[in-house]
């Protein structure tokens, strides 16, 4: 269900803001991939990042749980605050960050292990659960990911035997089992058929009461269906170097972005006349 929300990012009360991003610039070597992005992400909402290819939406998403740390040439400038804490403070442990800010990837990537071990892995590593609690954590995560009934009789079977859609729900369960606060989803349905996609979208609505979700999607209908708020990114071509840089055009309630966006570029994109 899409909530009508006309509140500007600046007006949201502090407790409900999960991420506060200011003047975010991301470079890969000399190349600036994202320029001056500023936005807020609210708690228990689904925020969609949309925009054409190369607009930096995935790059921005990966900055939010420091997944870009693994790209040697990547450099992040600006400020990303997570519940008021600077994520890029040298004191911050990036593994702890990723434990609280989980991620679901474009291609379902279960470990080549059993279904049970896949879900239990992160939870075991976190050290927050005793051995006897793990079984319960796994069951709850699989139930929340709407996969329990399909796999409860074959928890010891390899995860690679599941269908693509089941694998992606398993990846969501694996993420949920760590009990994160935010779930980042990078085009989670782009490798799935429409039925599997619909199941994931239903699932997102189910779990958003427990998590804040950010989803990158190429599919505008998907953004319109699932998200409460939408951020539109686009590319700008630098006339000197002829290279593209991603810019954030606007963030607003999904209804507003798709009906009466403030920026002309957004309107061109969502009406299908560009991109």
Partner 1 sequence: MTAVELSSNDLRSREKGTGSLVLGFGLLVAVTFTLLSLFVLLARIFTQAIPAFRERGSDFITDTIGSEPGISGIWPGLFGSFGIGVGVLLLAVPLGLAAAIYLEEYAKPTRFNRFVIVNIRNLAGVPAVIYGVLGLIIFVGWLKPITNGGSVIAAALTLSVLVLPVIIITGMEAIRSVPTGIREAGYGVGATRWEVTRDHVLPYAMPGILTGTVLALSRALGEAAPLIMIGAITGLLPETSLTGKFTAIPMLIYNWSGRPDSAGGAIGWSNSAAAAGLVLLVLVIAFNLTGVLLRQKFEKKRVGT
In the complex, which residues of this chain contact partner 1 (CB under 8 A)? 65, 67, 70, 72, 95-100, 102-105, 107, 109-113, 121-122, 125-126, 158-161, 171, 174-175, 177-178
**CB of 67 or CB of 224, closer to partner 1:** 67
Q: Give the shortest CB-66-to-partner 1 separation in angstroms.
A: 9
**CB of 2 or CB of 160, closer to partner 1:** 160
**CB of 109 or CB of 241, closer to partner 1:** 109
Mention every residue, 6+ apart, whose C-beta is less than 8 A from residue 108.
164, 167, 168, 170, 171, 191
Are the beta carbons of 186 and 106 closer than 8 angstroms?
yes
Q: Give the shortest CB-178-to-partner 1 separation in angstroms.
A: 5
- Secondary structure in 3-state letters for the chain: CCCCCCCCHHHCCHHHEEEEEEEEEEEECCEEEEEEEEEEEECCCEEEEECCCCCCHHHHHHHCCCHHHHCCCEEEEEEEEECCEECCCCCCCHHHHHHHEEEECCCCCCCCCEHHHHHHHHHHHHCCCCHHHHHHHHHHHHHHCCCHHHHCCCCCCEHHHCCHHHHHHHHHHHHHHCCCCEEEEECCCCCCCHHHHHHHHHHHHHHCCCCEEEEECCCHHHHHHHCCEEEEEEEEECCCCCCEEEEEEEEEEHHHHHHCCCCHHHHHHHCCCCC
**CB of 122 or CB of 246, closer to partner 1:** 122
**CB of 104 or CB of 257, closer to partner 1:** 104
Q: Give the shortest CB-195-to-partner 1 separation in angstroms.
A: 23
Looking at the DSSP assignment, which residues form a beta bridge with residue 26? 34, 76
**CB of 14 or CB of 72, closer to partner 1:** 72
**CB of 96 or CB of 193, closer to partner 1:** 96
Are the beta carbons of 74 and 66 closer than 8 angstroms?
no
**CB of 99 or CB of 225, closer to partner 1:** 99
Q: Give the shortest CB-227-to-partner 1 separation in angstroms.
A: 21
Q: How many C-beta atoms surround the C-beta of residue 195 within 10 A?
A: 8
Q: Give the shortest CB-237-to-partner 1 separation in angstroms.
A: 29
């Amino acid at each position: 269900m899409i909530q009508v929300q006309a509140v500007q990012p600046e007006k949201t009360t502090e407790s409900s803001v999960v991420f506060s991003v200011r003047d975010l610039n991301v470079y890969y070597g000399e190349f600036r991939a994202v320029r001056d992005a500023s936005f807020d992400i609210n708690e228990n909402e689904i925020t969609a990042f949309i925009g054409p290819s190369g607009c930096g939406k995935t790059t921005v998403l990966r900055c939010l749980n420091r997944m870009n740390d693994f790209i040697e040439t990547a450099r992040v400038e600006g400020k990303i605050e997570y519940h008021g804490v600077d994520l890029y403070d040298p004191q911050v442990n990036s593994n702890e960050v990723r434990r609280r800010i989980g991620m679901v990837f474009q291609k379902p990537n279960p470990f080549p292990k059993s279904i049970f071990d896949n879900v239990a892995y992160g939870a075991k590593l976190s050290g927050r659960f005793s051995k006897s609690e793990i079984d319960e954590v796994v069951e709850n995560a699989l139930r929340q990911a709407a996969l329990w009934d399909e796999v409860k009789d074959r928890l010891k079977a390899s995860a690679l035997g599941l269908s693509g859609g089941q694998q992606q729900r398993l990846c969501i369960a694996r993420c949920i089992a760590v009990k994160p606060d935010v779930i980042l989803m990078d085009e989670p349905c782009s490798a799935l058929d429409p039925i599997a996609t619909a199941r994931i979208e239903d699932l997102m609505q189910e779990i958003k009461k427990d998590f804040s979700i950010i989803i990158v999607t190429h599919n505008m209908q998907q953004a319109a269906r699932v998200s409460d708020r939408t951020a539109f990114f686009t590319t700008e071509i630098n006339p000197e170097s002829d290279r593209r840089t991603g810019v954030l055009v606007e963030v607003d309630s999904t209804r507003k972005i798709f009906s009466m966006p403030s920026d002309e570029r957004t309107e061109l994109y969502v009406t299908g006349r560009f991109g």
